[in-house]
A = this chain, B = another copy of it.
Amino acid sequence: MMKEKGLLIVLSGPSGVGKGTVRKELFSQPDITFEYSISMTTRVPREGEVDGVDYFFKSREEFEKLIEQDRLLEYAEFVGNYYGTPVDYVRDTINDGRDVFLEIEVQGARQIRDKFPEGLFIFLAPPSLSELENRLIHRGTESSHVIANRVETAKKELEMMNLYDYVVENDQVKKASERIKAIVVAEHLRRERVEARYKKMLEVK
């Protein structure tokens, strides 16, 4: 009744940045308080991947049926395969007061942002931006060509982070996962959340 809704935590970022590794590190920790929302895909399982653990593996037909029924929070097609997030699990868990953690591609994060603006959007960034910063500070040894390339990459990364609430650099997996945990702790302490919860309590009284 007075239950506070859980958070929808969305971790995304450029492909190859190490989202999966950070997610595994997070979920290997005993004090983790959020639940992992397993994605659905039509791609073939890779060596060692387990259905219902790494992904829900579905046929193209099954997946397209779920799209039709509007039972996916987001979905996308990459290299001929669908990837998506089943909506029921996410809504049920949040309504039950538990946090849900999603790890998805940038395209999917954008769809969720539209449907779930109250979610917590975390951009996992490659260390290239702070590397560039160091290069610029200690400049002189690099050719201007190398620097110019780096600047182009940096600008693209900056554009991508635009829709996110937080930016976590993946310089070290352990550090990145600690930062994500701190963000989740802090979000639960935001005054609006705490206040709303207690106000509800006083109304109920």
Contacts and interface: CB of A to CB of B under 8 A. Distances in A.
Interface string A164-205: 111110000000001101110111011100110011011011
B191 A167 contact: yes
Q: Which of A132, A183, A186 has the most CB of B within 10 A?
A: A186
B161 A191 contact: yes
A133 B198 contact: yes
B147 A205 contact: yes
Given A137-B2, A147-B205, A191-B165, A129 B198 contact: yes
B179 A185 contact: yes
Contacts of A67: none
Interface string A11-44: 0000000000000000000000000000000000
A2 B189 CA distance: 31
A119 B99 CA distance: 28
Size class of the contact patch on chain A: 35 or more
A158 B201 CA distance: 11
A72 interface: no
Contacts of A94: none
Contacts of A205: 136, 147, 151
25 contacts: A2-B136, A123-B191, A132-B201, A133-B198, A136-B205, A147-B205, A154-B201, A158-B199, A161-B191, A161-B194, A161-B195, A162-B191, A164-B191, A166-B191, A167-B189, A167-B190, A167-B194, A168-B189, A178-B185, A179-B185, A181-B182, A182-B182, A182-B185, A183-B189, A186-B187
